[in-house]
Chains A and B, each alone.
Chain A
Amino acid sequence: MKKNDIILILTILMISGAGLFVLNMTKSSGSFVQISIDGNVVATYDLSENGTYELSGYHGGYNTLVIKDRKAYFKDADCPDLVCVKSGTIESVGETIVCLPHRVVAEIVNKGEDAEVDTVSQ
């Protein structure tokens, strides 16, 4: 190992750390909330439009999704545990709320992201 190796490694780590920091500071609030029920995407709502939506879950129950001030949350549901309601609001890309009894997943997305992201080079 030479001195330059250490300098190189430290430089890369510092750049990555700075990158992480900046990305965290400027965390992109997503533009859509994507609803999937039982694994199928059933609806995508624009976060910039306030509104209330009734979702019918897998066993016929309901979840009430509210979009307000670019945040999404579940206001009400008839599931037994109400975990989705207690989950609070989501606004940043990748954040999710899951209602297991109704198999409902709400995820914040940016349009253009799709399944191909999962393709990893060997």
Chain B
Amino acid sequence: MKSKKIALFGLLIALAFVLSYIESLIPVFIAIPGVKLGLTNLVVLIALINFGKKEALFINVIRIILVGLSFGNAYSLLYSLAGGILSFAAMSLLLRKKTFSTLGISVAGGVCHNIGQIVVASFVLETGALVYYLPVLMISGTIAGVLVGILCGEIVKRLPPLND
């Protein structure tokens, strides 16, 4: 039971890691920092639904650190961490409410990820100018959240229960 869980976690972290890499290969057409698909949110959401808060947070933080060390720098790690934790908090809150489907949960996650990132970036760069990005980032986060949410709903439907 326990070793199965460890193996599954390893698998999920690896999956999130690969998705991060794939995402970095997808060109972004808008010249605004932070616009992205958020494919890794898929893994976090699936972990959240199948295991629970503690486990999903663990997977999320590990993959952020791994991805930050591999593809990013100290600042991008900081932004990701802020976005990842805020998005995680929002998603686990909505999941507990049980009145949202994966679509709504994913949208909340995507938008909060972008908000957390901008807030930390504003502190790091000591500028309020980044607030101009916020509306656009919220819209892009919503679109990304819808796509990831639909994907997640379909995947969860087909996956056997992971936590048995």
Contacts and interface: CB of A to CB of B under 8 A. Distances in A.
Contacts, number: 97
B138 A121 contact: no
Interface string B96-119: 000111011001100100000100
Contacts of B104: 1-2, 4-5, 8-9
A9 B142 contact: yes
A34 to B, nearest CB: 14
B99 A4 contact: yes
A120 interface: yes
Nearest to A6: B104
Nearest to A22: B135
Interface in A72-122: 93, 110, 112-114, 116-122
Contact of B34 (A19, A20, A113, A121): A121
B69 to A, nearest CB: 10
Sort chain A's interface into a size bin.
20 to 34
Contacts of A2: 99-101, 103-104
Given A13-B139, A13-B142, A112-B129, A120 B33 contact: yes
Interface residues of B, number: 43
B75 A119 contact: yes
Interface of B: 20, 23-24, 33-34, 36, 67-68, 71-73, 75-77, 79-80, 83, 99-101, 103-104, 107-108, 111, 117, 121, 124-127, 129-132, 134-136, 138-139, 142, 146, 149
Interface of A: 1-2, 4-5, 8-9, 12-13, 15-17, 19-20, 23, 28, 93, 110, 112-114, 116-122
